[in-house]
């Protein structure tokens, strides 16, 4: 049987209406616990002989619908849902490390991921190094005898730098080191790291997967054995699981993911083209720009360049803040992937807890802005940006 297309799976996979009173929409099982028909059944469920539900921290039907759907979309074997993207990241890294281990990271990461890495080092002596991962030789040299995993963002938040997933996965697989990829900026519609040989895919589902700015959630996808181990240990005992209602919201949001991302990408292409030509913009960071240093890599591993743009404006922090304050339609907010176009200042917002010298190493400067291009008319988005440029130029 021919495999169904992504646009079909995003609506139908993981749920069978005939098994749930013919309800077209997946039911919301808003319950904390489940009733056993007998004490023997309760014993069987706790022993694993009976696969039924016990308690929503350990499993819930609505959450399971979501987990099966996202696993299908990422071409993985199993997925786990968490209460936030950081809960998913924390659980995965804790699961993969022990005291004295080493984590090799891409040259930039989200600010809270940076904070987690430092907490792991300070409290549990799990060290980490940031690396550009631009060529095979340097990646091999960066791997230490006690490297327990490689952690990657691509595109990197907020500089949009890319990492060649196939290259890193090939090296890591030779050394039997798992590769973890934060795929939040792309979603499975634009990039599927497991297809390039990576082992774990993480999403802050708050972003493009939810798509409406009304839910906080995280997802991890991988092989069945690895996910079962993660579920039985770290997820169960730390307890950062997703609530059923939030899973229900994500299932609803997922149905329009391809339509929304096509529009995000289309708008971003047009906005990036105009930003590149504006005299007040110093540098544009956008994988769809033919002058982007890794444009060919973006074409190789991303279906489209995405809806995220970073750019630097002439001046420094003061000019960047004045520019944001002059915007009307575009909202100053630190999330992304919402219907609304959002802008933020990474150096003082999402990456504020990273020391300034480390920010500079990551390419985060005081005049760098990150733009999440929304679903509005691109002409209206550009008109707002253009007006803000004219206001600060005339001050």
Is the domain of 14 the same as that of 135?
Answer: yes
Is the domain of 153 the same as that of 15?
Answer: yes
Q: Single out the residue in 254, 288, 309 at which a domain terminates.
A: 254
Closest CA to 156 of 323, 346, 341: 346
pLDDT the model gives residue 3 = 84
Is the domain of 274 the same as that of 224?
Answer: no
The CATH number of the domain holding residue 174 is 3.40.640.10
Q: Single out the residue in 211, 230, 254 at which a domain terminates.
A: 254
Is the domain of 15 the same as that of 37?
Answer: yes
pLDDT the model gives residue 1 = 63
Is the domain of 250 the same as that of 304?
Answer: no
Is the domain of 37 the same as that of 17?
Answer: yes
Total number of domains in the chain: 2
**Mapping DSSP to helix (H, G, I), strand (E, B) and coil, where does residue 363 land?**
coil
Q: For residues 77 and 310, give the distance between their C-alpha atoms in angstroms, rounded to a whole number.
A: 34
Q: For residues 254 and 209, give the distance between their C-alpha atoms in angstroms, rounded to a whole number.
A: 6
The CATH number of the domain holding residue 371 is 3.90.1150.10
Give ∠ CA 101-151-71 in degrees, rounded to 5.
120
The answer to whether 125 touches 224, Cβ cutoff 8 Å, is: no
Q: Single out the residue in 220, 254, 288 at which a domain terminates.
A: 254
Q: For residues 256 and 252, give the distance between their C-alpha atoms in angstroms, rounded to a whole number.
A: 8
pLDDT the model gives residue 394 = 78
The answer to whether 374 touches 339, Cβ cutoff 8 Å, is: yes
Is residue 211 domain-resident? Answer: yes
The answer to whether 307 touches 191, Cβ cutoff 8 Å, is: no
Is the domain of 130 the same as that of 30?
Answer: yes
Q: Is 0.75 topped by the overall pTM?
A: yes
Is the domain of 218 the same as that of 270?
Answer: no
Is residue 168 domain-resident? Answer: yes
Is the domain of 236 the same as that of 278?
Answer: no
Is residue 103 domain-resident? Answer: yes
12: phi then psi, degrees, rounded to nearest 5 = -110, -25
Is residue 248 domain-resident? Answer: yes
Cα of 34 vs its chain's centroid, Å: 32
Q: For residues 206 and 10, give the distance between their C-alpha atoms in angstroms, rounded to a whole number.
A: 17
Is the domain of 282 the same as that of 240?
Answer: no
Rounded mean pLDDT for each run of 10 residues along the chain, 395 residues in total: 90 94 95 97 95 95 98 98 98 97 97 97 97 96 98 98 98 98 98 98 98 98 97 92 98 98 98 97 98 98 98 96 97 98 98 95 97 98 97 82
Is residue 1 domain-resident? Answer: no
Range of the domain at 149: 6-254
Is residue 106 domain-resident? Answer: yes
Is the domain of 315 the same as that of 192?
Answer: no
Is the domain of 299 the same as that of 241?
Answer: no
């Amino acid at each position: 049987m021919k495999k169904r297309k992504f646009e079909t799976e995003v609506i139908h996979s993981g749920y069978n209406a005939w098994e749930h009173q013919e309800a077209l929409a997946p039911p919301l099982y808003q319950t904390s616990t489940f009733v056993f028909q007998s004490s023997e059944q309760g014993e069987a469920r706790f022993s694993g002989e009976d696969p039924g539900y016990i308690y929503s921290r350990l499993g819930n039907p609505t959450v399971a619908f979501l987990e099966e759907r996202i696993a299908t979309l990422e071409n993985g074997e199993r997925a786990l849902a968490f209460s936030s993207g950081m809960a998913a990241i924390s659980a995965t890294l804790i699961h993969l490390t022990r005291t004295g281990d080493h984590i090799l990271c891409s040259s930039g990461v989200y600010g809270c991921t940076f904070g987690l890495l430092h907490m792991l080092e300070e409290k549990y002596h799990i060290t980490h190094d940031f690396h550009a991962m631009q060529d095979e030789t340097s990646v091999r040299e960066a791997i230490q005898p006690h490297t327990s995993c490689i952690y990657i963002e691509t595109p990197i938040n907020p500089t949009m730098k890319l990492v060649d997933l196939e290259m890193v996965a090939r090296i890591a697989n030779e050394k039997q080191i798992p590769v973890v990829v934060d795929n939040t900026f792309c979603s499975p519609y634009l990039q599927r790291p497991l297809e390039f040989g990576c082992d774990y895919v993480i999403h802050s589902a708050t972003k493009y997967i939810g798509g409406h700015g009304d839910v906080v959630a995280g997802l991890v996808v991988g092989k069945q054995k690895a996910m079962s181990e993660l579920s039985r240990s770290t997820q169960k005992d730390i307890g950062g699981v997703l609530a059923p209602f939030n899973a229900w919201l994500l299932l609803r949001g997922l149905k329009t993911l391809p339509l929304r991302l096509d529009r995000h990408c289309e708008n971003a292409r047009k906005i990036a083209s105009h930003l590149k030509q504006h005299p007040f913009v110093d540098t544009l960071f956008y994988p769809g720009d033919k002058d982007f240093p890794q444009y060919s890599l973006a074409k190789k591993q991303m279906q489209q360049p995405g809806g995220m743009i970073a750019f630097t404006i002439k001046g420094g922090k003061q000019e960047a803040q004045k520019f944001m304050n002059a915007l009307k339609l575009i909202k100053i907010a630190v999330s992304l992937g919402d219907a609304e176009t959002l802008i933020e200042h990474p150096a003082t917002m999402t990456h504020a807890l990273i020391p300034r010298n480390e920010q500079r190493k990551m390419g985060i400067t005081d005049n760098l802005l990150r733009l999440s291009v929304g679903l509005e008319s691109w002409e209206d988005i550009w008109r707002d940006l253009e007006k803000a440029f004219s206001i600060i130029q005339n001050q």
